[in-house]
Amino acid sequence: MKHQAMARLALALAAGALFGFGLSLSGMADPARVSAFLNLASDHWDPSLIFVLGGAVIVAVPGVLLARLLRKPVLAENFSLPAKTAIDRPLILGSAIFGLGWGIAGFCPGPALSALALGLTPVILFVCAMIAGMLVHDRLYAKES
């Protein structure tokens, strides 16, 4: 049991490091580049992040298909899948808020966490605001559900 926990921890660390490196390498941790990608109306639109998103889909699809074939994950007792699958008002509203935040700040949670290593004040402020928003959600909204 202890070996399995250590293996999960090591695998999580390796996957997180690889993910963070990939976000940095691809430019997803650069808010100016993300903003240039999201601003389709600009004369300086940067479509390069389409390849990052496409690459993520190419990697994710085989993983999802493999997960459907397995009875349980290799290093866990069961799959952690969301209980709710309906597209409802909170999902749409949350998606819209996420998109607005991403467009305004040029960060989403993963790239923001990887950019924390830079120690830049805007990144630190964004992550603090993100954590505050998560705490407010958990304290107020999640209790109603």
SS3 88: coil
Q: Across residues 10-27, what is the average pLDDT?
A: 88
Query: What confidence tens digit (pLDDT) does each residue in 107-126 have?
Result: 888 888 888 888 889 899 99
Give ∠ CA 127-61-13 in degrees, rounded to 5. 45
What pTM was estimated for this model as a whole?
Answer: 0.70
Residue 115 contacts by C-beta under 8 Å, 6 or more apart in sequence? 24, 29, 107, 123
Residue 42 near residue 34, CB atoms below 8 Å: no
**What angle do helix axes 49-69 and 31-38 make, rounded to 10 degrees?**
90
SS3 43: coil
Domain residue limits, the chain? 2-144
